[in-house]
Amino acid sequence: MRLEDIVIVLVGTTDPGNIGAAARAMRTMGLADLRLVTPRHFPHDKATARASGADVILEQAGVFDTLDDALAGTVRAYGTSARLRSLRWPVADPAGTAAQFVERPDGERVAVVFGREKTGLTNDELARCHALVHIDTNPAFSSLNLAMAVQVLAYEARRALVEPAATAPEEPEVRPATLDEMRYFYEHLERVMLSSGFLDPKNPRHLMRRLNRLFNRALPDHNEINILRGLLSAVEDHIDQTE
Amino acid sequence: MRLEDIVIVLVGTTDPGNIGAAARAMRTMGLADLRLVTPRHFPHDKATARASGADVILEQAGVFDTLDDALAGTVRAYGTSARLRSLRWPVADPAGTAAQFVERPDGERVAVVFGREKTGLTNDELARCHALVHIDTNPAFSSLNLAMAVQVLAYEARRALVEPAATAPEEPEVRPATLDEMRYFYEHLERVMLSSGFLDPKNPRHLMRRLNRLFNRALPDHNEINILRGLLSAVEDHIDQTE
């Protein structure tokens, strides 16, 4: 299935700010279908403000009197639950739920249902759902914000359904330093370490090996080695004058 | 490492509501250490309202003048970036970053740095970071809210750390250099680059940023930084004599 096949249903939302923030969370992840069941205030300035440019989702959001109405056209409903309820439903975490999305064909609509800020979903509402989604939280403070829960769910859906845009950034047009360049750099570094009196001429190997490892780990590019060699030359001028 | 070893750093936050929402997001996932760099308004009623019971995190949050100060005591900094920059930092998604957390020993502090709402982190701030975290978003609407990004990161951290892999992380042979040590090293390096005449005092930033990135990539340990600083002191003695 595709991200646009996912329906986010918010039931009985009290704070219109949460509706706006949920719309924004959905849109950043590529979801689009928001459905509201008996929101206390909607439309509302606070919803629009928090949507912060995702207004299109609010404008297209359906508003319904019952959860059954809101679920029209979907083939599965996942109810979100802050508590781990008695085992009448299969429970998965958001990643596990998103993994189930992957298996469904394009065009099949699946709903994720979020309850009221304080009290969640009623047992009657949960009875409409096929499975539960549970987000693990700190037992000492489990008060996950409604829109944050939508964000986490949408984030996992995107991870499961969309190949991320190339995670590797474009490499700049700089070529890595060649092994010769690295060798000349190390020779130059050793000269400066000796002439500055930092390196004991009788036992130079240990420190040089350490610095070899350090700079090799950094995988310097051609320009960076030039910068370092420029610096070595500059300090060398001063050292020569004191000899 | 443990969830409490993760430091969330918010740089230049404009909206105090986002600070409160970030604190709530952190606490629901079990994180606790919030540090603020030059927030526009803090403390603020809006922050307290949005924290919604996570006030303890706001009360204990440090407020700092610079990112360097905020990073004190941490050994790694991950910068969050909405764009995939064409520069040479390692980039991972939140899950990949959290997987790196698992490998670190308890008690080692790691920072995740979040930039300004509109403009993110500056290049100078990114130069303090060892790697980037990128949250994949809808290319047509990539405006992920700051606190939502904190939520996603904290969610992945909890997923990775609360059910830790059975194998205990190996203790590192040598402890990594702290960010404080790195900062003193960079300051020392800049002094030598200036006094040797290598660095143009009118335009020092570009080269320093290059070298910041180079040495951060190498992840130097405590001993290696001592070696480099010893070398800088040795050449500094010669430069002083020629002045």
Task: Give this complex's ipTM.
Answer: 0.75
Model confidence at A169, pLDDT cuts 50, 70, 90, reads very low
Chain position carrying tokens 């469904």: A104
**Helix/strand number for chain A, H first, E second:** 10, 7
**Predicted confidence (pLDDT) at residue A176 exceeds the cutoff of 80:** no
Q: At what angle do helices B179-195 and A222-241 cross, to 10 degrees?
A: 60
B209, B124 Cβ separation under 8 angstroms: yes
Token pair in block for residue B55 = 């006030």
CB < 8 Å to A237, chain B: 196-197
Using CB atoms, pick whichever of B24, B85, B224 lies closest to residue A210: B224
Distance from CA of A27 to the nearest CA of B (A): 6
Do the Cβ atoms of B24 and A237 come within 8 Å? no
Do the Cβ atoms of A138 and B214 come within 8 Å? no
For residue B128, what pLDDT is reported?
Answer: 86
For residue B189, what pLDDT is reported?
Answer: 94
Do the Cβ atoms of B86 and A172 come within 8 Å? yes
CB < 8 Å to B188, chain A: none
Most confident option among A137-141, A215-219, B204-208: A137-141
Token pair in block for residue B31 = 């994180």
Model confidence at A221, pLDDT cuts 50, 70, 90, reads confident
B180-213 confidence digits (pLDDT tens): 888 899 999 999 999 999 988 888 788 888 898 8
Q: B209, exposed or middle or buried, with CB in 10 Å at 0-12, 13-18, 19+?
A: middle
Cross-strand bridge partners of residue B64? B37
Polymer length in residues for chain A: 243
Q: How far apart are CA B106 and CA B155, in angstroms?
A: 19
Token pair in block for residue A9 = 């249903």
What is the dihedral sign for C-alpha A70, A76, A78, A84?
positive
Q: Helix, strand or coil for residue A16?
A: helix
Average pLDDT over residues B148-156: 98
Percentage of chain B lying above the pLDDT 90 cut: 65
Token pair in block for residue B112 = 């995740």
B147, B141 Cβ separation under 8 angstroms: no
Mean pLDDT of chain A: 89
**Predicted confidence (pLDDT) at residue A16 exceeds the cutoff of 60:** yes
Using CB atoms, pick whichever of A28, A53, A239 lies closest to residue B137: A28
Average pLDDT over residues B174-183: 84
Q: Which helix (H) or strand (E) holds B106?
A: none
CA-nearest residue to B217 within chain A is A218
For residue A87, what pLDDT is reported?
Answer: 55
Range with lowest mean pLDDT among A176-185, B6-15, B160-169, B215-224 = B160-169
For residue B243, what pLDDT is reported?
Answer: 62
Do the Cβ atoms of B223 and A210 come within 8 Å? yes
CB < 8 Å to A93, chain B: 159
CB < 8 Å to A235, chain B: 192, 196, 198, 235, 238-239
CA-nearest residue to B149 within chain A is A151
Q: What φ, ψ does residue B163 adopt, rounded to 5°? A: -115, 80
Model confidence at A227, pLDDT cuts 50, 70, 90, reads very high
Q: What φ, ψ does residue B10 adopt, rounded to 5°? A: -110, 120
B58, B45 Cβ separation under 8 angstroms: no
B40-69 confidence digits (pLDDT tens): 999 999 999 999 999 999 999 999 999 999
